[in-house]
Structure formats: C-alpha cells, structure tokens
Amino acid sequence: MTSSFIWLIVGFVGQAVFVTRFLLQWLYSEYKRRSAFPMAFWYASILGGMILLSYAIYKRDPVFIVGQAGGLIIYLRNLQLRLRQRRREKTLD
C-alpha cells in the first residue's frame, strides 16, 4: 500500500465524517417533511458546492468530487422541501 493510497483513504474517511452532519440534518428534514435551515443557507450551499465541485473536477480529486456532489444533492433536496413547504403555506392562507 502506497502513501498516496493511504492518504486517499484518509481523505474519503474525513469527507464521510464531514458529510455525516448534513446527512443527519437531511434525515431530520425528511422526517419532519420540512427544512430546518433558512433559504439563504441553501442558496449559499448550492452556489458554494457548485464552485467547489468545479474546482474538484479541475483538480481531478476523487475525494473532493464525491464529497461535493453528494453535498449538492442534499442541498438541492432541502431547497425543494422548502419551496414545497412555502407553496403549501400559501395555499392554506
């Protein structure tokens, strides 16, 4: 096993731990059927995630690519939940 491969494993483990916090938030949002963060958080997350994913692709860093792509899926889903919640609230008014 080379040093580069070991660091690749370390990178994936670190990314997995980092993403876990958003997975927990996502599961909680799914359970509640609503997002627990303000809209600006999700817009900033999507923008930042897209920029970082672009950079990761440019650098050809598989750990970074997987981490950012996974995060973007969660950010987009939470934005979808928030917009759906907003529509429901408007129809109730």
Report d(CA 79, CA 38) in Å as an integer.
10
Task: Enumerate the domain spans of the chain.
Answer: 3-92
Backbone φ and ψ of 2, nearest 5°: -85, 165
pLDDT at 41: 83
Q: Pick from 66, 87, 58: which is nearest to 18 by CA?
A: 66
- May I ask the CATH architecture of the domain 3-92? Up-down Bundle (1.20)
Residuewise pLDDT in 10s, the chain (93 residues): 898 888 888 878 877 877 787 788 888 888 888 877 778 888 888 998 999 899 999 999 999 999 999 999 999 999 999 999 889 989 887
Q: What share of the chain is helix, strand, coil (3-state, %, to 5)?
A: 90, 0, 10
Count the Cβ atoms, other than its own, within 10 Å of residue 81: 19
Report d(CA 43, CA 57) in Å as an integer.
21
